[in-house]
């Protein structure tokens, strides 16, 4: 009987000691979690504030002006389209020319509106157009690649946030095809899309060859611009 009585007395006391120690440990543990990161976060915030204050206002560079060249009865105009232009024309949602943020790097799309007017029949081959920008050489994305890119992106994200059918239609209606024939006396307008890890600023050159109806080279237009 004494042993039973002793156990009954010890059990609540041991339980009380355990709870007391665990509470004390929890308080110390919480204090470490709360205060210890502050030793690193606060100095970083101070440095960030100082750097922002010393930076001054952000200077926005003007958008490049449209570039028009004429040769051999052919007139071609290249107009760079920034994000505001693209959103105004195609909307902010389901816009196939504004790629989502990439975890790998700065995945950008450089979009140019192309206008062609000619007094004779000419041909355009998409894979002969070349962009040199930021020390890189890029070729335009064709309609198939852009559609495939968005199909993969939508699969990796929430499909309910995108109207893939509408995006396909926008690409088909606006992006230059692989091969294009512009009849004499007609006027063509479409989009060139370059995609990749491209810088936001720099000097660029675009080479735009045009061919005759027999696929002989008529002239290579060279555009230079600064962003």
For the entire predicted model, the pTM comes to 0.70
Interatomic CA distance for residues 25 and 8, integer angstroms:
26
**Are 127 and 215 part of one and the same domain?**
yes
CB proximity list for 53: less than 8 A, separation 6 or greater: none
Are 130 and 80 found together in one domain? yes
CATH number at residue 83: 2.60.40
d(CA 96, CA 107): 13
Q: Are residues 108 and 150 in the same domain?
A: yes
Domain ends where: 19, 34, 55? 55
| Helix, strand or coil, per DSSP, at residue 143 | helix
Is 192 found in the same domain as 163?
yes
Q: Report yes or no on 158 lying in a domain.
A: yes
Contact 225, 203 (CB under 8 A): yes
In a domain, residue 91? The reply is yes
11-48 burial by CB neighbour count: b if 16+ within 10 A, else e?
eeeeeeeeeeeeeeeeeeeeeeeeeeeeeeeeeeeeee
Structural domain ending residue among the three candidates 11, 29, 55: 55
Residues 161 and 104 in one domain: yes
For residues 189 and 125, the answer to whether their CB atoms sit within 8 Å is no
List pLDDT tens digits, range 37-79. 545 555 555 444 444 433 344 345 567 789 999 999 999 999 9
- What is the number of domains present in the chain? 2
124 found inside a domain: yes
Q: Give the C-alpha distances (Å, rounded to integers) separating 168 from 91, 121, 132, 145, 165.
A: 15, 29, 28, 11, 5
The per-residue pLDDT for 106 is 62
Strands 122-125 and 217-226: unpaired
Q: Is the domain of 100 the same as that of 33?
A: no
CA angle 101, 107, 108 (to 5 degrees): 105
Q: Which domain holds residue 19?
A: 2-55
Within this chain, do residues 88 and 26 fall inside the same structural domain, yes or no? Answer: no
Helix pair 38-55, 2-35: axis angle to 10 deg: 10
Query: Does residue 72 share a domain with residue 183?
Result: yes
pLDDT score of 19: 40
Do residue 172 and residue 195 come from a single domain?
yes
Q: Do both 100 and 183 map to the same domain?
A: yes
Residue 30 shares a structural domain with residue 93: no
Residue range 200-205: average pLDDT? 86
Q: Is residue 62 part of a domain?
A: no
Same domain, 87 and 22: no
Contacts (Cβ under 8 Å, ≥6 apart) of 223: 67, 69, 78, 205, 206, 208
State the pLDDT confidence band at 114, using cuts at 50, 70 and 90. very high
pLDDT at 26: 52
């Amino acid at each position: 009987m004494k042993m039973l009585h002793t156990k009954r007395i010890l059990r609540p006391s041991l339980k009380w000691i355990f709870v007391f120690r665990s509470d004390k440990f929890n308080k110390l543990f919480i204090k470490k979690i709360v205060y210890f990161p502050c030793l690193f976060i606060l100095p970083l915030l101070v440095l960030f504030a100082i750097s922002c204050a010393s930076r001054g206002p952000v200077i926005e560079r003007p958008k490049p002006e449209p570039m028009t060249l004429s040769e051999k009865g052919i007139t071609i105009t290249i107009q760079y389209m920034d994000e505001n232009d693209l959103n105004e024309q195609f909307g902010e949602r389901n816009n196939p020319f504004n790629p989502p943020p990439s975890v790998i790097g700065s995945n950008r799309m450089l979009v140019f509106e192309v206008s062609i007017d000619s007094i004779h029949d000419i041909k355009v081959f998409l894979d002969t157009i070349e962009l040199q920008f930021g020390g890189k050489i890029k070729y335009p994305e064709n309609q198939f690649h852009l559609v495939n890119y968005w199909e993969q992106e939508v699969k990796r994200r929430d499909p309910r946030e995108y109207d893939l059918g509408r995006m396909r239609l926008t690409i088909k209606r606006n992006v230059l095809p692989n091969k294009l024939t512009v009849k004499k006396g007609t006027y063509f307008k479409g989009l060139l899309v370059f995609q990749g890890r491209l810088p936001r600023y720099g000097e660029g050159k675009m080479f735009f060859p045009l061919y005759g109806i027999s696929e002989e080279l008529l002239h290579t237009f060279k555009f230079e611009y600064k962003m």
